[in-house]
Each structure stands twice: as C-alpha cells, then as structure tokens.
Chains A and B, each alone.
Chain A
C-alpha cells in the first residue's frame, strides 16, 4: 500500500470539483479560474481513494470508485455521467475522442469505452471476463491496456475498429504490467515490479507493439527497499523525455543520459502522469505540503512555483490529460517470423553495466519459471571465448540466463525474467549492459563456429527453426 492508500477518504462526495470560483490558501497569485480559462480542456480522474500502485499488486486503484471529469472554461463536469465509474482517460490523436476504463454499474468489471468529445453516448469497445484498465491509443486503430488475469494484469493490444477484435498479448510473465504511455517511437511504456517478473520495486519498461524487445527504459534501477522508492506513471513529453514519479518526486529519463535525472519541481508529493500543454507547461497531480488531497496544478518547468488549477476536498484528482490533437506515434512493423521459438544471441556475456566479469563463463544455463516461481532448467549452451552464445528458446515464456564457469558454478545470473516472442530474433550486447551500450562491430565467435542456435527450448530435441 502506498501512502495514498492510507489517506482514504471516508466521504465520496457528489461531483464537485472546486475549480476556481474561490480562493484556496495554497493558491498564490492568480485565481484558479483564470488559470484554467486560458488552457485547453483537461480531463482527469477524481477518486475518493487513489492507490496509485495498487495495479502493480493486482489490486483496485480506485476502491471507492472514480469518475472522469472534464475541466474547461473554468468549469468541471463529469465526462460520462451515465456510467457509474470511469477513469484512465486517453485522448485520441486527433483530439476528438476519449478512450477510458469504465463501469456501467458500480458492480461491473472495468471495461474499455470511448466517447466522442463533440457529444454522444459512450461506446463500450472492449469487455472481458475480468477487469480491463489503463487503455491507451496506439497507431493503426489499436489500443493497449492491461487485462486482469489469474497471474496479474497482463498487457494486451486490440483493434478498436471491430469490437475488441485481434486481441494480442504483449506480456508473457506472471506479474502485473500496467501501460503508462505509447511513445512516439511506437513502443509501449509500462510499469511493473523490478526485477521483472520477480520483484516489487515499481519500475518502467518498454516493449514493441508486437510484444518483442522487452527491456528496461534505463538500467539505473531503484535500489531502495520500500515501494515508494520505485518509478511509476511515466509519460513522454514533446521533448522526448519521459517524466515520471520516483517515490514522491518528479524525475525524468532524457535521451542523452543513461541515468534518471531529477526534475526541479516545487515541493510536493507528485502522483505522476504529468500532462503537457501545447505551450510546454505541465499539468501535474500534486499533493502540496500539508494537504491531504492530490490536486491539479499548472507548472512551467524551470520555474519555482506552480499554480493550482483544480482541487477537491473529498477526492484526489489524478491522471490529467490535455484535450488536444497530438502526434501519432510510429507504427511498429512487426518482423516476427512464423515460428514457435525465438533466437537469442549474446555478443559478450562478460560485459555488464556493473563491470566486466572477471571469470570467464563456460556455459549459459537457460531457465524458465515453473510452479510457484521456481526456476526450471531448459538447457545449457556453450559460451565462446569472446563471451558470445546463441540459443533457441521457447517463445512467449519466462526466461532467464545464468552464467556458469567450467565447474558449473554460477558466476552471474539474472535476478528477474524476460521473454522472447515466438518468431523473434534478438541480440544483447552483454548481460545488463544498459541501453547506453551500443554493440561492438565484430562477428561474434559463436556465429563463426555455427549459425545454428543451441536448442534450449526444453524439448530436448534437435535444433528446429534456428539458423534460417
């Protein structure tokens, strides 16, 4: 549970977002109404209780309900008054429609809906036997969202031109995978526990729109023990930076840096999901010092103060999105082959962000995740002198590597899990080298010896699809 869970309000008041019409002690300078009047419409989720990290534990983020509100011209009103609950707004790329998670009746499951901003009734576009949350638009008429399953929230995409057609899974581990944003390069930014598939520290990851190429955004992973030290609720800004909450402060990943960089924002407890206005200012959900509720504020990066935009004494105002047209991300042209396995090539397993491995690994053991999370050995493959190895593994299954020396002792191992898609061919520079490390330009020794990967599918048979 986060500190937000601990401040659950006992009152779920009527729709009454106090925009503007009155002063508030935390507002300095302009009346709040004028702040919002000059802005495009903003949609946000209002909830008596907002447990921002509950999704990462497979739990309900809005245990006392939630309601999407639209704030325009100094007035706030429900976006979809006909629905009992609504949350997680995502504005379409043309700025004309909103995708969201909603419930017709309070006891319903979360489903995925759209509503045109020009008027009309909400349309139920995707329903399931379990909750579907955090929907987001993707290019090519698809959406990404999280579907609750027996092993947690899984990432999925679906077409929305039909009714939930062409559902495709993107995550292939037990655990909770919650989408945060669709980056302009077409990849899905999502949050999960770190180490992936094994840990509980909130962290952000990336995956292509076909489920391939899963990786951490950065490898300076939070090392704290508490949940609040994690990174959550990231969104990409026009600069390309990903802004997120690390604990209670704002931070960012920027293209030039391998490590997280701080955001020098005014003091406060930030709820993430910062939204960018066309003029470059941000709408943030923040709980100012001494306050008990997350409110919406406008902040110009680089300045020392922010201006409150909307607040509600009974509810947290979170997940703001700006109603405006925006750049359509690039569509990912999937290059997956029609195989049931994937090929994985490591260029030099000794290389790592934490330093070169002194011991020379002789073999790599490939494991999958068995019952109760226990590792099950799928097979081993030799590691060449230059540190390269080439294996063919099961697609769409949890995997991890363990490097062994000549005596079979572990010299380095992955702490989490990853997956390779069926038909995916992927290469890593080393073992946890980080996205800042580009490959050396050389033919790995393993490919000079053979172009056929070692079968570690666990089937025990000979090599099948590899080497094509």
Chain B
C-alpha cells in the first residue's frame, strides 16, 4: 500500500510538473519534450488525386490539407482549412476538394488546380464527412452532434435541407452510380435502459435527397467508415461491438468488446436490407477499433485499419462471403470465425485511421494519426513498402505520448480495448456499463464526457477517485485492463493529455454569449431560490447550488433520490454540465433517456431540484438553458 501511495504521489508530482511546464512560462529542451509548440500533423484521412499522382492528406492537428507527391511522399503544398477537419472528398470531376471542418461547422471548398480555397460554407453541428453527388449538384455533409445530414447546393453552398440521420452521423459513402448514399454513426441510437445498443446505416437517395431506409446495426455502438464496392453490390462498415450489459468481470474471450464489420448488399443476401456482422478478432488477440475500410477495385480484398492495435487487416472477400453464406445463424461472437477469411495482419504506425487504394488496386496508403506517418503497402505482398514521414515535430512530447496511450489498446489484456473504446475520439460512448467491483448487476454507470475536466474532481459516480491519476491508474489496471498498466511516467502523460482536452464549441449558445429569451427564462429557473408557490427552496434543492461554478459542479456528492434498487448508495458525485446537451442518456446509470426525463420521470419528490411546480414550457426553458452550458 505504501508503495502504491508513493507511486501515486510521484505520478501526481510528474503531472504537476508537466502542467507547469506546459501552461507556465518554463520550457525544457531535454526529453521528454514539453516545449513543443508546433502542432503535430495528425493525419486522419487520405485521398488520391484522380490520376493517382498526388496523395492528399487531411491533417487534423494542423488544420491543413497537405498535398504529397504519391510516388515519393514529397510535400508539394499545404492548404489551411478549418479547425479540426475530419473528412474530405473530391468532386467527381476532380476539380474541387471539399473539407468538413468539425469544430467550425463549415465546409472548405478548394480548387485543386490552384490549391486555393474558393469558398467556406456553413454546415450543421460538427461536420465529419462530406460527399458530392455524381452530377456535381448537391453536397451531403454528415454532422456528428447534429445527428443529421446537411444537404447543400454544390454550386453556392446554400442549405437545401437537413436529413435526419442516426446519432453521431459521421461517415458517408456514395455508390459509384450515384444512386445510393450510406451514412454511419459513431454513437448508438437511443434504446431502452439496459438493452443492447443499436446503430444504423442511413440509406439516402441522393437524387431526391431523401432517407429511404435505415438498416439496423444491432448491438453496435460505434460505427466508423463505410465503403462500397465499385459494382455497388457490397457494402462494408467498420464498427465496435461492446459488451456493456454483461458484468465486466474479466476481459478474455471478448468480454469487453469485439471488433467487427457489418456487410450488406446484393453480394451478402438477396433479402433487401439484410446485414451480417463479421468478427475480426481472434481467441487470444484483438484488433481494436476498426476504423477505415477500403475494398479492392476487383473486390478480391477488403482492407481495415485498427486504430487501437496499429494494424491493418486484409480480408479475402470471396472466402468471407462463402463463410457468410454457409452460416445463416449470427456468428459475431465466434472468435474463431476470422480464421476463415482474414489472410493478413499488417503492422503499421500508431493509430492508423484513413485508408485509400490506388485506382489499380496495386497499393494502398494508411494515415497513422499519432506518429505523423503514412504507410504505403503493396497489395500483392501485403508489406509496407514505404513509410512517409510528414513535416512536423520530430520529438514526441509528453502530451503526445499521453494521447498515444489513450488511443492504444496495448495495455488491456490481450490488447482488447483502450481508453478510446469508451471515449470515442476522446468523448464518450453513450453507453452504461456494469463494472465488476460493485457486484454483478449493481451500480450500473453511464459514461461521462471527459472534456475540460479540471475543476470537476472527484471522478467516478461515487466520487471515490480524487484525481485522474487514481482514476486512470491502479483502478483501471485492476478492473478494466485486467493486465499490467502503463508505468507512472506514462500515466502522468495520459493524465496530462486528458486534462488538456478542451470543451468543444457550444452550438446552443450564441457566439456573443447572449441568451435567447427561452434560455434566459431557463437560467432564472436554474438560479431561483423561491418556487412558484413563493416557498423558499432549500439550498440543497436549488439547481445552482450543486451545479455551481463555471463547470456546473460544486464537486460534492448528494443523494438526489435517483438511487435504484441495484445501487449500493444514493450518494452520487455531482456531474459537470459542460456540453450536457450531447451526452444522453442521463443520470448516473443512464436511465433517463433525455434531459426532460430527469425531472418528469426520475424526480417525483423534488429531491433532484425543485421542478414539480414547473409547467412543461418552463421545464423546456430550463432545458434550453442547460444546453448552453
């Protein structure tokens, strides 16, 4: 115990030192490099120019599109775009490049001949990918926190309409004939409490700009890229299949996550809309967080990047389809299935994400986001033939190392999962988990957003973890990874990274901070000390007492009457309110599907704030205000 305490103190000391160095004036020159001010490129997505001569690299860290000579990897140009770009797309004629800027809610239009930015168009909330229809008339933008697809006029950027998508709409793919557009989602759609998560593939008719189908992805919580074969007969989605409803007693045998593909289309089944889930893992080894997908031009191979395992999986499509056709029953939980169709695992750089194939299918490129490299791979040999290093800091800073740790699955038993499995892209997963130490089926806990955490301690819903070093250290090792953790220095780096995560722009609050009248009314309710009957509201029952301060928490625990029979205690940490609009479901166990349900369903005795005197409109006002936090 004494040794652990010592380690914790050392970890905390290192964190303090690192923070001082990062946020203070002091700089150091020696390793670890804390003085790096130049951002890392952090390549996220790749495209090849139509003639294959240029490789376009979407650099999330620098907010650029870099243009490389594909053959040599030499940088030709860097084109600044918006903040945190997440997706890009060539117009069918190759003359324009569209970039989705997730933190600017915009689309940058680039003339590929001059490399000039010709326009910046408004999109929805957190644009994450963009495609243009075959006729070059319409642009579709997937909005991650808008949960929709914004349809823009491709000539003017004027918004034509908004299509309702699933939760966390993020990735798009258009069939080669331009007749279908598919959208996938990084967060699960709402489902009843303690039932399996579910996502969807939103099927859109791009000509009519209408949603024509929603293919259910049962048990899927996070879906990433979707790819289509050139003949349009095969679609492939990379996805996460969590096990959040089973007590997390151990990790082996796919107990926390399995990594899968969903395949669909005429090659898969003659039944319209039928999807089949195809596992990618093995019995003793996991391929965490499939992200990017590419299908060979001749459809013979499927390439999948695994962001947590630093690997690309190569699948023999014919064998995979034969296996699918021979197995009518679901086999997503069979860890031995992948042996029938996986033909290679190729080690690449850290946190591989986007993948692009050359037109002839002879090679493909992978963007390794967290070591600023591009791997070029020969599809005949399945070997990395070239590693292109992007311009940027050569040293790895403590912050960067922390980010690498966050996105790596190497610390969990058999490499099954990492921090980013539950905190997708450093956010949350919209799920509730049954952790083991509290008892099977007891103390079900909802995942929380991890942005801007300073000043929100303690952590864990029961408030037992006073610091991030405790939250992410010994406890994580024992009850999550079930395997040897990182050392204290790496823990300090990890904590540094998590504490560095800023709060995303709040889309519900005006840029000038002005509140709408409904928001103003809601704020008054939030801050009130007297109810509508003129009775004083006890301090502990005023919203603004527990949810005080800039983060919306007084960092104390209270019993607000939300204890369920399966909870060991009703005393719960007051959660922060930042970006609360995004983080459904609510309450400690995720039992409230909406903010409204917190009070209409789970506050019958006014223990969670005095709210039963409010009309529906007044409750709506309160919610409108909370969305601005």
Contact = CB atoms under 8 A, between A and B. Distances in A.
A426 interface: yes
Contacts of B319: none
Given A438-B258, A451-B440, A427 B284 contact: no
A372 interface: no
B524 to A, nearest CB: 41
Looking at A240, A258, A438, which has the most chain B CB atoms within 10 Å of its CB? A438
B342 interface: yes
Nearest to B258: A438
Contact of A435 (B219, B283, B477): B283
B250 A438 contact: no
A435 B252 contact: yes
B242 A441 contact: yes
B482 A256 contact: no
Interface string A428-456: 01000001111111111001100101000
B483 A466 contact: no
Contact of A425 (B241, B338, B440): B440
Interface stretch (B48-56, B208-216, B431-439, B620-628): B431-439
Contact of A333 (B282, B339, B478): B478
B439 A441 contact: no
Contacts of B245: 441-443
B253 A437 contact: yes
Interface stretch (B101-109, B329-337, B499-507): B329-337
A455 to B, nearest CB: 15
B335 A438 contact: yes
Contacts of B484: 139, 186, 330-333
A345 B250 contact: no
Interface string B472-509: 00100111011111000000000000000000000000
A343 B253 CA distance: 19
B283 A425 contact: no
B334 to A, nearest CB: 6
Nearest to B342: A256
B441 A185 contact: no
B440 A257 contact: no
A351 to B, nearest CB: 10
B413 interface: yes
Given A185-B413, A467-B442, A438 B437 contact: no
Given A255-B282, A441-B219, A390 B246 contact: no
| Chain A interface size, under 10 / 10 to 19 / 20 to 34 / 35 or more | 35 or more
A437 B247 contact: no
B244 interface: yes
A426 B250 contact: yes
A213 B413 CA distance: 13
Looking at B253, B282, B284, B484, which has the most chain A CB atoms within 10 Å of its CB? B284
B285 interface: yes
Nearest to A424: B249
B437 A335 contact: yes
A295 interface: no
A438 B249 contact: no
Contacts of B219: 441
A213 B250 contact: yes
A225 interface: no
Contacts of A441: 196-197, 219, 241-246
Given A330-B484, A333-B485, A442 B335 contact: no
Contacts of B244: 441
A441 B413 CA distance: 19
B414 interface: yes
A179 B324 CA distance: 40
A20 B600 CA distance: 86
Contact of B483 (A185, A343, A443): A185
Interface string B429-466: 00000101111111000000000000000000000000
Contact of A186 (B242, B440, B483): B483
A425 B248 CA distance: 10
13 contacts: A256-B339, A333-B478, A345-B247, A345-B440, A425-B436, A427-B249, A435-B284, A437-B335, A440-B333, A441-B243, A441-B246, A443-B434, A451-B439
Given A438-B254, A442-B195, 5 more contacts: A333-B483, A427-B250, A429-B333, A443-B245, A467-B440
